[in-house]
Amino acid sequence: MNTEFGTYLVTQGSRSRGRTTEDVVAAAIDGGVDIVQLREKGATARERYHLGRALREQTRDADVTYLVNDRVDIAAAVDADGVHLGDEDLPIAAARDVLGAEAIVGRSVSSVEAARHAVQAGADYLGVGAVYATDSKDVHEEHAEIGTETVAAIADAVDVPIVGIGGITAANAPDVIQAGADGVAVVSAITVADDPEDATRELANAVREATTSIDR
């Protein structure tokens, strides 16, 4: 899997200041986002399907990796590149059975033990969080703040890419990368920004600089 995990947008139209998710995604693409995940908690499957098809066109045109949160069937129906699963979702192997061997299957974890378990179960990457406390409890499964220490411990424990999520901004993203994350996933830092394109670029630059400083 050659996917870049640097800057990862999780969509949530209800937290996008009246902007459509299509507009937020277009701005994020222009700003250099690497991955877009269709989340949209609270929307019906039907709504997510129709929005999901639109995002598939946008991300395909831009060569941006495109994942769907939770719902393997929506991922399959919109021809996403994969799915991101939590504790209450289908098991990783079941998702892969439905989506095929090439699909990217990610998994949310909050501990070293869960991370090891997810990798043994076949996760291609891990979403690790909440790194920092977040006020977007309505749209996150990850509530408990685990801090960069746990990010570092998980990065040491597993060999798959890990993406920090939860309360991440351009200001603290370097700490998350320094701790060992391959990328950072955000909702609000892009969706509620005054300028989502600028916000994405700022975040992507912060991630890139931190990554480069580690490589040295």
Active site residue 110: no
Span near its own copies by CB under 8 A; candidates 16-24, 71-79, 109-117, 201-209 = 71-79
Based on CB atoms, which residue is closest to Ni ion, 41 or 48? 41
Cα separation, 14 vs 164, whole angstroms: 22
CB closer to its own copies out of 23 and 79: 79
CA 125 to CA 41: how far, in whole Å? 22
- Shortest spacing between CB 141 and its own copies, in angstroms: 11
How is residue 203 written in tokens? Answer: 């975040």
Catalytic-role residue among 15, 16, 108, 201: 108
The rounded distance, in Å, linking the Cα atoms of 23 and 57 is 13
Cα–Cα distance, 93 to 105 (Å, whole number): 9
Per CB under 8 A, contacts with its own copies among 48-67 are 49
Residue 41 main-chain phi, psi, to 5 deg: -55, 140
Minimum Å gap between C-beta 74 and its own copies is 7
Residue from 39, 48, 107, 201 carrying the catalytic annotation: 39
- Given a contact cutoff of 8 angstroms between Cβ atoms, the answer to whether 141 and 163 are in contact is no
Contacted entry of Ni ion, its own copies, none for residue 98, CB cut-off 5 to 8 Å set by kind = its own copies
> If contact means CB under 5 to 8 A according to the sort of partner, which of Ni ion, its own copies, none does residue 140 touch?
Ni ion
Q: What number of CA atoms fall less than 13 Å from residue 167's CA on the CB side? A: 17
Identify the residue among 28, 74, 123, 186 touching its own copies (CB under 8 A).
74
39 is catalytic: yes
> Rounded to whole angstroms, how far apart are CA atoms 177 and 50?
34
DSSP letter, residue 126: E
Catalytic residues: 39, 108, 137
Q: Which residues bind its own copies (CB under 8 A)?
A: 44-47, 49, 70-74, 76-77, 87-91, 94-95, 97-98
